[in-house]
């Protein structure tokens, strides 16, 4: 049976990119035969977090988000990354077979520098920790958004470097992307990739004034409603399409392309997006509130998840230590 694994950083509130690029596929995948592991990447979050209480709260929030959106903790192991310290041991083993050049080519690291982030060594070596997370569970498939594909390829490379030095220890994982390119790379309010650290994200559970105010910030231009427009170039249309059935999508696209009297303006698209998003997440929003009001269930799920994840990672760690002469 295949092992399917993925993670999400508790660096802020999960956004539409996390949901359509990853979370919703993680939850859907649990219907497939296999073993399913989803972790909250708190070690990774420490590359940027300097707020212990905030980090703890974000971890709980990510767990509540998964459960509220329908993850069944009996079908999937949900756990905190730092509850499995074996991954840091595997990180070191992989670091010792990985060339600097591989990490220097990481797009995500370069993007973060370009956005003015001051890099620390943890951020630079992020792909090694991520490779350890994946390889520690003998993962076969890793469902991720497009931005993580390069990191996945690096994990494959690192497994290869270690195996060619010490014998077949690590299983080669394969990335799994959403079928729709629109989901694989969701744009943020400014049209760049939606990202917590770029401040251009839309929290999936935003509602009321907060939701309207964020949607009002989606980038538009000064063209009048009557002017015909190519819908595929509009961030608002890209976001709205994530929520619409194909018939309604085609309707909006056709009205935008045609333009003329009565054509929808950006205000119409914003209002429909707020309405569709609110309706899509309303039940989960309520469930999240209930989960956060009683943390007992969340803690039980994470503790049980840690036990299950750790026993799997220990076996892989032991295999790796023994192969390279440390046992």
Of the residues 110, 118, 185, 196, which is catalytic? 196
Residue 314 to residue 311: CA distance in whole angstroms: 5
Q: Where are the alpha helices (DSSP H) in the chain?
A: 16-18, 24-29, 42-45, 52-68, 86-95, 100-104, 107-114, 121-124, 126-135, 149-166, 181-184, 208-216, 235-241, 246-258, 266-293, 295-324
C-alpha–C-alpha distance, residues 272 and 277, integer Å:
8
Question: How many Cα atoms occupy the beta-carbon half-sphere of 76 within 13 Å?
Answer: 25
Q: 49 Cβ partners below 8 Å, 6+ apart?
A: 11, 55
Nearer to ligand AQP, 151 or 255 (CB): 151
For ligand AQP, the closer of residues 3 and 9 by Cβ is 9
76/323 with CB nearer ligand AQP: 76
Residues that bind ligand AQP (CB under 6 A): 8-9, 11, 17-18, 21-22, 41, 144-145, 147-148, 184-186, 193-197
Tokens of 108: 């995500």
> Minimal distance in Å, beta carbon 147 to ligand AQP?
5
Query: Which CB atom, from 22 or from 159, has the smaller least distance to ligand AQP?
Result: 22
Min dist CB 53 to ligand AQP, Å, is: 18
- Closest to ligand AQP by CB, 108 vs 249, is 108
CA distance 47 to 44: 6
Active-site residue among 112, 185, 229, 270? 112
Cα dihedral across residues 99, 41, 24, 277: positive or negative: negative
Any catalytic annotation for residue 193?
Answer: yes
Residue 17 beta carbon to ligand AQP: minimum distance, rounded to whole angstroms: 3
| Shortest distance in whole angstroms from residue 192 CB to ligand AQP | 9
Whether residue 112 lies in the annotated active site: yes
Closest contact distance (angstroms) between CB of 176 and ligand AQP is: 10
Question: What is the C-alpha to C-alpha distance for residues 90 and 126, in angstroms, rounded to an integer?
Answer: 13
Residue nearest ligand AQP, Cβ-based: 21
Active site residues: 112, 193, 196
């Amino acid at each position: 049976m295949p092992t399917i694994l993925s993670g999400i950083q508790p660096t802020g509130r999960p956004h539409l990119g996390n949901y359509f690029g990853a979370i919703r596929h993680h939850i859907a995948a649990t219907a497939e035969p296999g073993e399913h592991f989803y972790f909250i990447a708190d070690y990774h979050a420490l590359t940027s977090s300097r707020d212990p209480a905030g980090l703890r709260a974000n971890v709980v929030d990510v767990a509540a988000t998964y459960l509220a959106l329908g993850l069944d903790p009996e079908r999937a192991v949900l756990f905190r990354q730092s509850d499995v310290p074996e991954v840091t041991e595997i990180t070191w083993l992989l670091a010792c077979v990985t060339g600097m050049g591989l990490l220097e080519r990481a797009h995500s690291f370069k993007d973060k520098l370009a956005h003015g982030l001051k890099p620390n060594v943890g951020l630079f070596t992020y792909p090694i920790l991520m490779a350890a997370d994946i390889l520690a569970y003998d993962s076969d498939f890793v469902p991720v958004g497009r931005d993580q594909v390069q990191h996945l390829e690096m994990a494959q490379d690192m497994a290869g470097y270690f195996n060619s030095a010490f014998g077949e220890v690590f299983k080669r994982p394969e990335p799994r992307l959403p079928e729709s390119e629109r989901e694989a790379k969701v744009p943020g309010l400014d049209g760049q990739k939606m990202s917590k650290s770029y401040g251009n994200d839309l929290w999936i559970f935003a509602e009321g004034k907060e939701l309207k105010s964020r949607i009002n910030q989606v980038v538009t231009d000064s063209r009048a409603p009557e002017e015909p427009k190519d819908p595929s170039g509009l961030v608002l249309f890209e976001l709205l399409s994530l929520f619409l059935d194909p018939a309604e999508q085609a309707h909006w696209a056709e009205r935008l392309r045609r333009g003329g009297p009565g054509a929808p303006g950006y205000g119409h698209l914003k209002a429909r997006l707020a309405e569709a998003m609110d309706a899509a997440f309303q039940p989960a929003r309520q469930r999240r509130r209930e989960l956060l009001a009683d943390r007992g269930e969340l803690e039980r799920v994470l503790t049980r998840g840690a036990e299950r994840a750790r026993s799997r990672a220990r076996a892989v760690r032991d295999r790796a230590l023994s192969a390279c002469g440390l046992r």
